[in-house]
Chain A
């Protein structure tokens, strides 16, 4: 008999589900028994594997999650929302929270929790699949044989752009600014690419297309069990060694609350109310 799996969609954007749809080879090995986006079924039945996407944002998410995991053999948290809170965590600031909690009060609707919680703050998780969203290849790896999946340590090694010794920018360009030279490392061009410290396995679609890596796969194994500050420090070291950008400019940019918030939507693996995730459990 075919193995069965279900996808529990909490508060998120459905990007993980859509990516899973593109990994359609699973249809030969699995029966998809529950995923509201594409299947009409009322409830999560007993399954071998439960993929959970989205963050725990409402009391309804909390209820659905607790109930569904009881019927699951293995629980996999997929995507940054489920693992570290995701883009909704950008709202985890006192000023913003006050603003929208005041606006969002509704009668007879699921109530918003004060913040978006990762799945493993509520239930035990067997495996983590980071990415915003994880690529179809990564989904297939999780569903077939996670231990056999081979990937480079960091996005940087999968990117294919050449690093040049003598091309040292003197000014930081951020994420977007005009022209991108083909085939040459984006850090050489002054872009704020964090692919050097970001977990590999996605095959680097963004830097290949000319956009700096924003770190959506989270920290690589070297940093994943440490606090987030070490991740930022490693990024800073890369820029110190590869560029002539003045130290104070780098410091201002990399230590700004806006940048930390932006990167932490994808990578706040060790912050908040839980211990770091063991790297053996992260694909």
Chain B
């Protein structure tokens, strides 16, 4: 038996891919997460009020999502509903995270695969005197920076934000600061579209060269999206009835309950909707011997989260430019689309959507005084759901005597683990034939993993 080990780069965290070959046949393709810190264990005994400060440190890339999920879980336990202004500022915070993350994944993680370089920063420096690619890299970093500036504005700090607190947010956003942010986004939006067009072309060229868009077998998809458009705040807009709701109709009913998740079946039609607190009835979690991260399935079937899941489930994006891209995407690749390199293109649609949506939110006043409501901490149990860039993130806490007695972090990358391994196997079988290993395999492994934009720090926590 031959074992091929591939170290990974341009992803978040420490992981490697191990492919076993026997008699010229691919025996297994495994995705191994090689780090572990133990958040679910060391959160035990910690005062509940410290949690929104501690858990962002699960991951510096996804800290915003953990920050908000923790606050929402405590609000669920305390029976608190934040005021509308706080909810808008939190949505802005999560939208900033989408911009920052999708720009990072598109331009820093995966664009180098399409331009055949080791790093975007090779291009920024313009060492080879290539003006065009130097300009490309500079614009890419400029678009990414809008996301980080938006998180700073809405979250107080770009990494490990602090502004979401139980009951609301610590402060509003002044009209002046909102206007300056709008101006910055107005400049970045056309740049983002331009970059996405170039990225789209480069992806077409890549798939033409490879002769494939990667694993395109049907899968189940999971996200916490509404009926009409992706809803990154994690609230559900689907008609009451499928999931358990306290009050029919209104968006806020699901929000109070901790939010809803939806699953699109492999046939692309049937969908299930359930509250975060009932996830165990639908998602089957399994630990593995060869990785510090576990895997989930949807009642035994391969599950996919992240950009393609949301795009496959969205009826429309709800903003003009993003809707144009969505129409073009569906006309080109069908609906639902399954090929894995389309995760990357779906991220581009979301980048445009998030920039447009941020402009909408910033147009309404955000400097009101009703930033928070009073509350009384109490013991109990709470679930917090947000749609993070990588999919639905659930925080679950049991509080006893004001201290965390039990903590559970349900991580979207874990939902993708089986899908990643299936796609790796497809790639391995393509490039290992008759005992010969095509050297393209190493690059294919990198592309497959990056399409899912996994976050290992989150997955293992």
Contact = CB atoms under 8 A, between A and B. Distances in A.
Interface of A: 2, 9, 11-19, 21-22, 24, 27, 31-32, 36-42, 57-58, 60, 86-88, 90-91, 93, 95-96, 99-100, 103-104, 106-110, 112, 116, 132-133, 174-180, 182, 205-206, 208-211, 214, 258, 261-262, 265
B41 A214 contact: no
A106 B112 contact: no
* Residue of A57, A112, A178 with most chain B CB atoms under a 10 A cut-off: A178
B160 A40 contact: no
B254 to A, nearest CB: 24
A208 B457 contact: no
Interface string B121-165: 100110000000000000001001100100010011111101101
B290 interface: yes
Contacts of B165: 176, 178, 211
Nearest to B154: A209
Given A13-B58, A209-B156, A211-B163, A38 B171 contact: no
Contacts of B42: 88, 90-91, 93, 96, 100
Contacts of B11: 37
Contacts of B58: 13
A15 B141 CA distance: 17
B292 A106 contact: yes
B252 interface: no
A106 B291 CA distance: 7
A27 B125 contact: yes
B50 A175 contact: yes
B156 A14 contact: no
Interface in B1-18: 7-14
A58 B59 CA distance: 18
B372 interface: yes
Instruction: Give the 8 A-B CB pairs with smallest separation, nearest first.
Output: A15-B60, A209-B156, A210-B170, A211-B162, A91-B42, A100-B41, A39-B119, A100-B38
Contacts of A133: 60, 159-160
Given A22-B145, A93-B45, A209-B163, 20 more contacts: A11-B14, A11-B36, A13-B457, A15-B60, A16-B60, A27-B124, A40-B118, A40-B119, A42-B7, A58-B34, A58-B36, A108-B290, A174-B47, A174-B49, A177-B49, A178-B374, A205-B152, A208-B156, A209-B157, A209-B171
Contacts of B36: 11, 57-58, 104, 112
Nearest to B161: A209
A65 to B, nearest CB: 14
A37 B292 contact: no
Given A176-B166, A210-B156, A14 B46 contact: no
Given A39-B119, A40-B118, A258 B37 contact: no
B63 interface: yes
Interface of B: 7-14, 32, 34-38, 41-47, 49-50, 52-54, 57-61, 63, 104, 108-109, 112, 118-121, 124-125, 141, 144-145, 148, 152, 155-160, 162-163, 165-167, 170-171, 289-292, 371-375, 403, 446, 457
A36 B9 contact: yes
A2 B122 CA distance: 13
Contacts of B372: 178-179
B57 A132 contact: yes
A175 B124 contact: no
Contacts of A208: 156
Nearest to A180: B170
Given A15-B60, A15-B63, A38 B159 contact: no
A244 to B, nearest CB: 22
Contacts of A39: 9-10, 118-119, 121
Nearest to B125: A27
Nearest to B163: A209
Given A24-B141, A109-B34, A211-B170, A90 B46 contact: yes
A107 B119 contact: no
A96 B160 CA distance: 24
Residue among A2, A14, A262, A265 facing the most chain B CB atoms (10 A cut-off):
A14
A22 B163 contact: no
Contacts of B121: 27, 32, 38-39
Given A22-B148, A106-B289, A15 B157 contact: no
B157 A205 contact: yes
A192 B212 CA distance: 57
Contacts of B152: 205
A117 B104 CA distance: 30
Contacts of B8: 36
Given A258-B45, A258-B403, A210 B171 contact: yes
A106 B152 CA distance: 39
A263 to B, nearest CB: 10
A209 B175 CA distance: 16
A179 B369 CA distance: 10
Nearest to B48: A176
B160 A107 contact: no
Contact of B290 (A18, A103, A107, A210): A107
A37 B10 contact: yes
A211 B60 contact: no
B157 A17 contact: no
B407 to A, nearest CB: 12
A6 to B, nearest CB: 12
Contacts of B45: 93, 95-96, 258
Given A91-B38, A175-B50, A38 B156 contact: no
A175 B167 contact: no
Nearest to B127: A31
A60 to B, nearest CB: 7
Contact of A178 (B46, B290, B375): B375
Contacts of B112: 40
A18 B374 CA distance: 35
Nearest to B126: A27
B9 to A, nearest CB: 4
Contacts of B144: 21
Contacts of B166: 176
Contacts of A180: 170-171
A14 B272 CA distance: 35
Contacts of A13: 57-61, 63, 457
